Structure formats: C-alpha cells, structure tokens
Chains A and B, each alone.
Chain A
Amino acid sequence: MKKEQLLDLYYQMVLIRRVEERGAELYQAGKIGGFMHLYIGQEAVSTGLIAAREPRDRVITAYRDHGVAINCGISADSVMAELLGKATGMSKGKGGSMHMADTSKNMWGGHAIVGGHLPIAAGFAIGDQYAKNDNITICMFGDGATNIGYFHEALNIAKTWGLRVLWVCENNQYGMGTAVERASAVDEIRQKAEGYGMKNSAVNGMDVMAVYEAAKEAMDFIRKEGQPYFLEINTYRFRGHSMGDPERYRKAKEVKKWQENDPIGIFNKYLLDKKVASRKALDEIEARVEEEVIKAVEFAETSPEPAMEELFTDIYAD
C-alpha cells in the first residue's frame, strides 16, 4: 500500500474515533435520541475491510454503523447530521444512528434487526449474479448475529447458489452483555462456516493491516471463484454495548487489557516504526480531524430540522 493510502487509513480511524467521542457527548447532552452504539475499539475492522473493496462492491452492516459509514466515504457532516436527526443527514433524519446508508457510495445501511440484514446481503448478491457482474457484497455483523436463524439461511443459500458475499463476523466477544461462550455452540465463530462448506479464516481485528490483507485475500477468492467467504475478525468494543450500558458483565481488568491493544495506537506505532510518517505528520492528521469534527458538529447543529411534509414522503415510490 502506498504512503498516501496508509495515511488515509489512519485519518479514517482517527476520524471515526473523534466523531464518536463527540457523538457520545452530544448524546449525554440530550441532542441525540434513540439508541447509539459506539464503534470505539473496532475501528481497524471496517477501515481495513473497506480499504480492500472496489467502489462497485456493496457494504451492508448492523446498527454499529458510524465507522462503516465514514469508511465508505460518507462525510462526518452527514453522519453527525443524521445523529442529530437533521434534514442534511444521509437518511434525511429518518434513520438515525442505527440506519446510516448512502447508496451512491455503495453503503447500504445500517440495519438494526440482529441478523436481519444477512438474507438481504444475499439478495444483493442474487441481484448482482442475475445481472452477471462480479460485484462483491461485504456483509458485516456481530458475533451475536451468528446464533439466529437468519444467519444460517443466508449462509446456506450463499453457498448453494454461489453468491459473491464476504461474510464478516466482527467478534467483539459479547452479544450485548452475553459472552460468546454463553451464547454460541462454538467459541470460534468461523467454525460455523465449515458447516456450510464455506472457505473461511480468522484475523486479529486490532491490526488494520492484518484485516486489510485478510480481506484482500478473501475478496480475490470470492471474485475469482464466484463463491462466498467467511471472515471472522476478532475485536473488542471499548465502550458499552450502547450508551445505556451499565457493563456488569465484564471486568474492568479485561477492558483495560484490550484497551492496551488500541487499534489506533497499534497503527500509529506501525506507521512510525516503518517510517511511513513522522510523528509530526501524524499529529497533523489528528489536528485536521479535530477541526473536521468541530465543523461537523457545527454543521449538524445549524442544519434545519426535516420539513413536516417529510413525514409522509418516501413511504412508496409510486
């Protein structure tokens, strides 16, 4: 990867982190409603993954979607505006935190029914297969989604029909507050793909370069073979499941241990060690991000509320 690309990945990861930190403050201040699930700690996952896609490849994810949106090229302005429910958000304020999409950037949401978007991801690939192109659908979901029926129906049809889907399980060790081993028949989630005869692997999700390499390899396979691939990415969310999480289910010591493996810190060190960038250059990126986030908050706060007529638009196309 070229230097500019590497620095861009760093920029994306820091941007996600700062947007969410400000988002959390705005949530506490009552300016953001509903549920909000932070991606902090998992930034390397979507950043590495989406860096490996072609623009024509589709991305669909679960409700922990702010980071994915940013990686897909949606602006911090638009993300912040959607969080605040403003007309300038990418879903015109009708979707909120859990439903961020911009189909022009091939980001198809933001889906909040656990596992519900997996058959839809298969459907994108059915559509692409029918259109006889070799687009890939990258479908991200949590470990919790692998225990629900949707997951199994989607994987089964993907393998049976030869659909170009990269199934990405972001194993952040907990489905809400229930640890993987308390909810899943197998601790190593990728074993589930074995049951469907699907090629699979696992990768350390705190290392953006490792994620990128694994995703690239998987996508090469999918494109070439016309078959799905299952990638388990091990990661950890540093914050609670959502903003209202008392975190009784995990110990501070465990959280601290993972936080020592901060994906941004790891990548920062990588860039310095490999002499890709100087400390000054990285500081400049961080300063640029700070400014961008301040502007995004200002943009969102000064953006108009959706017009009352919007209540009745977009229900039907005809």
Chain B
Amino acid sequence: MAKITMREAISQALMEEMDRDPAVFIMGQEVGVWGGTYAVTKGFYDKYGPDRIKDTPIAENAILGGAIGAAMVGQRPVAELMTINFAFSAMDYVVNQAAKLRYMFGGQFMLPLVIRAVGGGGRQLGATHSQTPDAVFAHFPGLKVVSPGTPEDAKGLLKSAIRSNDPILFIEHATMYQVRGEVPEGEYTIPIGKSKIQREGSDVTIVTYCKGLELSMKAADELAKEGIQAEIVDLRTLRPLDMEPVLESFKKTNRAIVVEEGWKSYGVGSEIVSRIYEEAFDYIDAPIIRVAQKEVPLPYNRTLEQAALPQVHDIVAAAKEVLK
C-alpha cells in the first residue's frame, strides 16, 4: 500500500484510464496549459496534447453540452467544472440533459460522461463559491452522484465512473486534496453505488460521506477516548444510494447521526433519516440527529464561516446526545 494524497489519487485515476482507453478525453477550464486549477491535471497537457486535454472557454453550457454530445456519439469525455457552483450556470445540462436524454429517447444511446466538480466550503471564497449542493443533484433520477472521502475510494470510484456508460457527477472537496491515505498498489476499481463501513463500532452509527467522513473519523477518535465506539458508514455514492450497510449498522447500534457539509433542510441527512424510519423503525432507540451546515449563505470571514460549517465538536456532541 502506498500513501498518497487525494490529488494524486484522482490524477492517477485519470491518467490510468486515459492510457487504457483512447476514447477518454478531458475538457474544462484551465485543465491543460495551466495544469488544472487544483493541479489535478498537472503534466497531462504535455503528455497527451491538446486533442485529449481540451482547454475550453469559460462557458459551462458549452463544456457540459459539448461533453454530453461527444458522449452520445461514442466518446468518453471527462468534463471538469472548476467548482460545482458553476454547475448552476449549466444546470440544464446536468439535470435536464445528461440525466434524461437516454430515457426520453427510449434508450437509443448511452451517455458515458463524467462531470468532475469541486465543491465545499472552508476556503473563504464567499457565498457563491463555497457550496455543497450535492443533495440537489442527487435528487434527479438518471444521474449518478459520487463523492468519495478517501484517496483509495477517490481513485477506485473515478476509474469506475470513467468506465461506466452513464452520466456521473463526481464531487470532490476543495479542502481535501492534501488528505493522505493508503491506496492499493496496481490496478483496482471500486463499484459505484456501494456504501462502506469505514470504522467499526457498536454504540452509535455515524452516516456520512466526503468531507463529513474526514470530520467524523476525528470525532470517532474523540468519542473513543470517552469509551464510545462509533461506527462510520461512508455513503460514497449518493445516487444510487446503498442503504444496506447503513441499516445493518443501525440495527446493531439502534442510534444514529447523519453528518453532511450541506444545509440540513432537504439534505442528504433528511433522506437517510427518512429511509431509516421507513426501513428500520422498530430498531430506533433515540431520535436521529442531523449535523449539517447552518442555514445561511457562507460568509467570507473565517470565524463566521467555520461557525456555519459542521465541526468535529458538533459531531461529538450529537453522538453523545443520541446516546443519552
């Protein structure tokens, strides 16, 4: 096992898939000459050239519409959005076109498209550049939404996403590119649509993903010091949602909290809690608590911004609350 950063993991996945399949190409803002605004595609332009590493204008509709069209006629584009906030400029392509065209035309073609997008707050970028709108996109049938929380998962899931014949929104977190983790040597993929137990425990279930995983792992360490064993279920894919590991864990612990970086209202947590109520009602020993972002646009000021984002201590407090 090698220990690499999230950035390296994503970069390796892209490079390995480009080497494996000539139909794969990358298009987006500053992916080429610049080397990627988060340096994920550094060196790609020199290695693959402008045909396969396409620098686009700042025109999200052209980027996503273009990638959808190319996918419909048999290529395997990886379209990069500099931030997921810019997906709103091209919302039609994500939720109306990519998610629906195959169905609307009776399955006449496949849409093998990956949209890589960077989301998340915590970098003092102000309200419009700091969002975690994952639940919005996970709302739409026809789209698959993946958001990994470890380098191992990022690499394996991105490779699967590129090989998939469906449109996939692959959401990365802006503050996690330096996160290090063990990654298997050599070729591997991780199936899309499978949740995973990232830490075993018997007292309380923490359901989370992406940035929430990083925070929850730290919270679990804190809780362990007080003798509380938290089990962490990482969703990894928001749609299609794999509830099996969540329900299995919950049936063991009978207590749960859900941790996400996005807003609480109508969020991922709302979905998870509903599903537990629907599918494991008899196992509930305490009200399930959602830990999420405060219901405000994120401010620039660091102190205020951090106060709005979910923190490790919020998770610790919520876990203790459901154990009361």
A residues neighboring B (CB under 8 Å): 58, 89-95, 99, 101-103, 108-110, 113, 116, 118-128, 130-131, 149-150, 153-154, 156-157, 160, 313-318
Contacts and interface: CB of A to CB of B under 8 A. Distances in A.
Nearest to A135: B73
A280 B92 CA distance: 51
Contact of A94 (B25, B61, B105): B105
Nearest to B52: A130
Given A130-B25, A149-B61, A91 B106 contact: yes
A98 B72 CA distance: 19
B56 A157 contact: yes
A131 to B, nearest CB: 7
A317 B165 contact: yes
A108 B109 CA distance: 10
A157 B59 contact: yes
The SS class assigned to the B binding surface is mixed
A120 B69 contact: yes
Interface in B159-197: 164-166
A153 B29 CA distance: 14
A123 B70 contact: yes
Contacts of A89: 106
Which of B67, B69, B75, B165 has the largest count of A CB atoms less than 10 A from its CB?
B69
A94 B103 contact: yes
B40 interface: no
A101 B61 contact: no
B73 A113 contact: no
B15 interface: no
Interface of B: 25, 27, 51, 54, 56-57, 59, 61-62, 64-75, 77, 92-93, 96-97, 101-112, 141-142, 144, 164-166
Nearest to B58: A153
Contacts of A149: 61
B96 to A, nearest CB: 6
Given A99-B104, A123-B67, 17 more contacts: A91-B105, A94-B103, A94-B106, A109-B101, A119-B68, A120-B66, A120-B72, A122-B65, A123-B68, A123-B70, A124-B72, A150-B92, A153-B57, A153-B61, A156-B59, A315-B142, A317-B166
Contacts of A118: 65
A127 B61 contact: no
Given A116-B65, A116-B92, A127 B70 contact: yes
B117 to A, nearest CB: 17
A1 to B, nearest CB: 29
A127 B104 contact: no
A253 to B, nearest CB: 39
Contacts of B68: 119-120, 123
Nearest to A82: B106
A123 B106 contact: no
Which of A95, A118, A316 has the largest count of B CB atoms less than 10 A from its CB?
A316
Contact of B108 (A91, A120, A122): A91
Nearest to A154: B62
Please list the 3 inter-chain residue pairs (A to B) with the smallest Cβ-Cβ separation, ordered nearest first: A123-B69, A119-B65, A314-B107
22 contacts: A102-B108, A116-B93, A119-B65, A119-B66, A122-B65, A123-B65, A123-B68, A123-B69, A124-B70, A126-B77, A127-B73, A127-B74, A130-B70, A130-B75, A131-B75, A150-B61, A156-B62, A157-B66, A314-B102, A317-B107, A317-B111, A318-B166
Contacts of B62: 119, 122, 153-154, 156-157
Contacts of A317: 102, 107, 110-112, 165-166
Contacts of B25: 130
B65 A150 contact: yes
A124 B68 CA distance: 8
Contacts of B110: 317
A311 to B, nearest CB: 10
A113 to B, nearest CB: 6
A154 B92 CA distance: 14
B66 A101 contact: no
Nearest to B89: A149
Given A157-B62, A316-B142, A317-B111, A119 B105 contact: no
B179 to A, nearest CB: 29
A40 to B, nearest CB: 25
A153 B60 CA distance: 8
A58 B70 CA distance: 12
B78 to A, nearest CB: 13
A299 B145 CA distance: 41
Contact of B106 (A90, A124, A130, A153): A90
B141 A120 contact: no
Nearest to A60: B69
Given A153-B62, A157-B56, A120 B51 contact: no
A130 B48 CA distance: 13
B73 A153 contact: no
Contact of A108 (B64, B72, B77, B141): B72
B140 to A, nearest CB: 11
A252 B67 CA distance: 44
B88 to A, nearest CB: 13
Nearest to A87: B106
Which of B61, B67, B68, B92 has the largest count of A CB atoms less than 10 A from its CB?
B61
Nearest to B163: A318
B70 A314 contact: no
A157 B57 contact: yes
B72 A127 contact: yes
A154 B71 CA distance: 16
A82 to B, nearest CB: 9
B166 A314 contact: no
